[in-house]
Chains A and B, each alone.
Chain A
Amino acid sequence: EVQLVESGGGLVNPGGSLRLSCAASGFTFSAYSMNWVRQAPGRGLEWVASMTGDSAYIYYADSVKGRFTISRDNAKNSLYLQMNNLRAEDTAVYYCARETLSYLVDYWGQGTLVTVSS
């Protein structure tokens, strides 16, 4: 069974940093690209970043480029999102989601809430 479990969310001051983690199990983690997608309270879904299984290709939404860094440790079956210089508009539930070689974004975690506020 595919499982994705996010952690690391919390309350942070504007300008602060936070590192999210996503622990994967039930599949060969290194064979899949992974995504971060966020959802502001009461709002829709917004893609944040993607990384291929071999870490060769990394992509970011313009809204986070230069502030967020996606990374992974295939030995630990884990995906990360380092978020720096956080803004109020980054407040959201952050989901990790698996992506197959044929671009299918199929399984999502349960999400972790990040609140940026003073």
Chain B
Amino acid sequence: DIVMTQTPLSLSVTPGQPASISCKSSQSLLHRDGKTHLYWYVQKPGQSPQLLIYDVSSRFSGVPDRFSGSGSGTDFTLQISRVEAEDVGVYYCLQVTQLPKTFGQGTKVEIK
């Protein structure tokens, strides 16, 4: 199984400041279709996960442009350029390149 390791596990950020979350996979996530199926989700308190970024760096419909994704191979990063109060929640990376689909442990983002 591909192990997804997120760091840090928690993050406290001042509004307006940037935030960055790392996700490392134990194997390359490059799929035979030529794409890298690495996704980022946020689970806000009391809600189900919401898709933010797909295929490493593509923003999902309606996601603010302060969210961006980057990386390749086994190292990936989610960046929030200017954190807002509504960004509070737990952020997860997910790989679907290989079964079983596996998630990172989650990174809890809080506002200072």
A residues apposed to B, CB below 8 Å: 35, 44-47, 50, 59, 61-62, 95, 99, 102-111
Q: Is the pair B103, A105 in contact by a Cβ cutoff of 8 Å?
A: no
Q: Is the pair A103, B96 in contact by a Cβ cutoff of 8 Å?
A: yes
A108–B41 alpha-carbon span in the complex (Å): 11
Give min CB distance, A81 to chain B, whole Å.
Answer: 16
Contacts of A103 in B (CB 8 A): 31, 37, 96
Give min CB distance, B50 to chain A, whole Å.
Answer: 8
A50–B98 alpha-carbon span in the complex (Å): 13
Give min CB distance, B4 to chain A, whole Å.
Answer: 10
Contacts of B60 in A (CB 8 A): 106
Q: Is the pair A106, B51 in contact by a Cβ cutoff of 8 Å?
A: yes
Give min CB distance, B79 to chain A, whole Å.
Answer: 21
Contacts of A107 in B (CB 8 A): 51
Q: Is the pair B48, A108 in contact by a Cβ cutoff of 8 Å?
A: yes
Find B101's partner among A44, A50, A102, A111 (CB 8 Å cutoff): A50
| B19-61 near A? 1/0 per residue, CB < 8 Å | 0000000000001010101010001000111110011000010
Contacts of A105 in B (CB 8 A): 39, 51, 94, 96, 101
B7 at the interface (CB under 8 A from A): no
B76 at the interface (CB under 8 A from A): no
Residue in A closest to B48 when the chains form the complex, CB atoms: A108
Q: Is the pair A44, B48 in contact by a Cβ cutoff of 8 Å?
A: no
Give min CB distance, B106 to chain A, whole Å.
Answer: 5
Contacts of A61 in B (CB 8 A): 100
Q: Is the pair B39, A45 in contact by a Cβ cutoff of 8 Å?
A: no
